[in-house]
Amino acid sequence: MTEGVNPNKLTNPPKLPVDSLDSTKLNNKSRSGLEIAREPSFDSRGGEVINTATRNLQSADSKGPLTFDSSFDFPNLGKIEICKKMNNDGSVTFYLRNNIPIPVEVRFDLKVNNMPVPKTIIATPKKPGEKKEALTEAFTIRGNYSYKSVFSLGNPSNQHDNKTLYTLPFKKGQSYECSQGEHGKETHKDDNEFAIDFNMPEGTEFTAMRDGVVIAIKQDSNKGGKNIGAEYSNFIWILHNDGSIAKYVHMKHKGAKVKVGKEVKAGDVIGISGSTGRASGPHLHVQVDVPKGSKGSDLISIPFKDKNGKSMSIEEGKTYSN
């Protein structure tokens, strides 16, 4: 979660009185962004219409009279922009333009005429592999305004589909030892607590554990070692259809065998293993996260399957065959 600040004001506020939004609708924190997005609602007291609807638009609509307001970059993934359109009646409609194939939860600490009207909007994800960004209409307001915005990857309602079992990340007929398991003493703590390391020589082709779409690749690093920062790790991220993301880390320099946007099946070769980033030696690190917006990220124990398709757990020090 990161914060971007963009206080903003209309230079010529309209003279019409500004409606006060129904605070029971907008200040109730138990309402998630998704619920707000579910149905349009209109507040027309005082002769003004303030649209608090959230709706997805065709990306073609993003061309035209939208003005850029602020943006936030998610490294290696893309960016999300807050745009606005001045309407003829003096109101302003805000939009979220998302070029990331993952939903982004945007929390607006919004004030209209100094009255807090917090809003949480889920920006529709872009279709993976397509260039066109997705556009979400956020809300329409009238009057002086200012806002702070917080951007978080994912949607709080995302849940991992626990019925799907994962294939070991290497080719059929091969065997590798698990050199660090879940809750491993070396580095598998905190955000990495359910990660698995396979002791795999540099140059080994590794494979997708589950069907999905490639959404991020870093392969420009050629640095690795015990004292090298994690930011030097090359990686491939694959998005699954339940919103979870598999991360394959320490890939060799220029080791990707796929491109962003490529649809892959479990078992497809996706890259060449290495030891880039913070690694005491060549190995493949895999983990699966479920980004849940402002609720953070669910980390899951990867439900692997054995050769016979049966569920199995992976233990440090044991060797597994595909």
Cα separations in angstroms, 57 against 107, 126, 138, 293 = 20, 12, 11, 21
> In whole angstroms, what is the distance from residue 132 CA to residue 159 CA?
26
Whichever of 105 and 182 has its CB closer to Zn ion, that residue is 182
Beta carbon of residue 177, minimum distance to Zn ion (angstroms, whole number): 13
Beta carbon of residue 280, minimum distance to Zn ion (angstroms, whole number): 10
> In whole angstroms, what is the distance from residue 95 CA to residue 282 CA?
45
Burial 43-75 (b: 16+ CB within 10 A, else e): beeeebebbbbbeeeebeebeeebeebbebebe
Beta carbon of residue 195, minimum distance to Zn ion (angstroms, whole number): 5
In the chain, which residue ranges form alpha helices assigned H by DSSP? 23-26, 33-38
> Using CB under 5 A, which of the segments 65-73, 171-179, 192-200, 273-281 binds Zn ion?
192-200
Query: Which residue's beta carbon is nearest to the bound Zn ion?
Result: 285
> In whole angstroms, what is the distance from residue 219 CA to residue 222 CA?
8
The secondary structure element, H or E, covering residue 256 is none
Beta carbon of residue 241, minimum distance to Zn ion (angstroms, whole number): 25
Whichever of 195 and 260 has its CB closer to Zn ion, that residue is 195
CB 119 within 8 A of CB 108: yes
CB 34 within 8 A of CB 157: yes
> Using CB under 5 A, which of the segments 11-19, 188-196, 210-218, 231-239 binds Zn ion?
188-196
CB 304 within 8 A of CB 294: no
Beta carbon of residue 283, minimum distance to Zn ion (angstroms, whole number): 7
Residue type, 195: A
Whichever of 195 and 288 has its CB closer to Zn ion, that residue is 195
Q: How many CB atoms lie within 10 A of CB 128?
A: 18
- Residue 50 sits at φ, ψ, to 5 deg, of -115, 120
Whichever of 62 and 280 has its CB closer to Zn ion, that residue is 280
> Using CB under 5 A, which of the segments 146-154, 187-195, 238-246, 302-310 binds Zn ion?
187-195
> Using CB under 5 A, which of the segments 31-39, 49-57, 124-132, 196-204 binds Zn ion?
196-204
Whichever of 84 and 285 has its CB closer to Zn ion, that residue is 285
Whichever of 82 and 286 has its CB closer to Zn ion, that residue is 286
> In whole angstroms, what is the distance from residue 198 CA to residue 79 CA?
33
Site string for Zn ion, 283-302 (x = CB under 5 A): --x-----------------
Beta carbon of residue 227, minimum distance to Zn ion (angstroms, whole number): 16
Q: Is 197 a binder of Zn ion (CB under 5 A)?
A: yes
Whichever of 142 and 285 has its CB closer to Zn ion, that residue is 285
The secondary structure element, H or E, covering residue 5 is strand 2-6
Binding residues for Zn ion, how many (CB under 5 A)? 3
Whichever of 50 and 302 has its CB closer to Zn ion, that residue is 302
Region 256-285 residues binding Zn ion, contact defined as CB under 5 A: 285
> Using CB under 5 A, which of the segments 73-81, 191-199, 215-223, 264-272 binds Zn ion?
191-199
Beta carbon of residue 74, minimum distance to Zn ion (angstroms, whole number): 22
Judged by the rule CB under 5 A, the positions of this chain that interact with Zn ion are: 195, 197, 285
